[in-house]
Amino acid sequence: MIDYVRGPVAHMESDYVVIDVNGIGYRVLCPNPYLFGKTDGEVTVYTHHHVREDAMLLFGFSSREEQRLFRKLIEVNGVGPKVAIGILAGSRPEALVMAIQQENVTFLTKLPGIGKKTAQRIVLDLKDKLDHIGLDFTSGQGLFEDAPVIMDGDVHPSWGEAREALKALGYRDVELDRAWEQLKHRIHADEAVDALMKKALKELLVM
């Protein structure tokens, strides 16, 4: 099993990075590839090596804690690796664990690919199995309250960071402003940076 890869980022897309390990490019599917693009030089990507009949896939994470949480998620019946990656892309790991432990089905159903039945199954299967993930909950208060949709004039807490990351990829201010105008009526106040970036990229690609 490939537990991690280390090397410079050779290429990046909205759902994966390519890590150059001694001249071999490892394509790693990630919840937030842009986290690795912020670092010059080598990065370490903790991985899950998924083997199936028609493919061998690497899923990658910025921390051991996120790697452990991913592995717990894919133990749930009906939650495959790509669904689990989407779940992690749509929420901070701390918020996700708290939601599961407190049986917050409303929060879970806001995540990509998760309906009510799947959310209930995740809670049932994992609520007592996440104590040893290793996440820091010291600032956990208020992580997953039901969030209102962003309205005109509101400043989203994650958009500034997402915008800067997108600018680093070469997008211009005018393009980002137009993408935000399309997005801001359709997102929630607790939207994570990586989820915002993915939604913004979809808007930018059709402009």
pLDDT in tens, 136-161: 655 444 444 444 444 344 567 678 88
Nearest partner of 197 among 41, 89, 62, 49, judged by Cα: 89
Closest CA to 143 of 71, 192, 184, 183: 192
When the pLDDT of each residue in the chain is averaged and rounded to a whole number, the result is 83
Residue range 59-81: mean pLDDT, rounded = 94
User: Torsions phi, psi of 190, nearest 5?
Assistant: -100, 15
Specify the CATH number for the domain of residue 56. Answer: 2.40.50.140
Q: 54 with 88, same domain?
A: no
Judge if 40 and 68 occupy the same domain.
no
Q: Would residue 39 count as lying in a domain?
A: yes
Pick 206 or 70 by higher pLDDT.
Answer: 70
The answer to pTM > 0.75 is no
142: in domain: no
Between 170 and 7, name the one with better pLDDT: 7
What pLDDT score was predicted for residue 165? 86
Is 36 in contact with 59 (CB distance < 8 Å)? no
pLDDT of residue 207: 63
Residue 140 lies in a domain: no
Note down the domain range covering 108. Answer: 64-126
Lowest-confidence range among 10-19, 51-60, 165-174? 165-174
d(CA 32, CA 132): 23
The reported pLDDT for the residue numbered 185 is 67
Tally of structural domains, the chain? 3
Which of helix, strand or coil describes residue 9?
strand
Mean pLDDT of 68-75: 95
If asked whether residues 70 and 109 sit together in one domain, one would say: yes
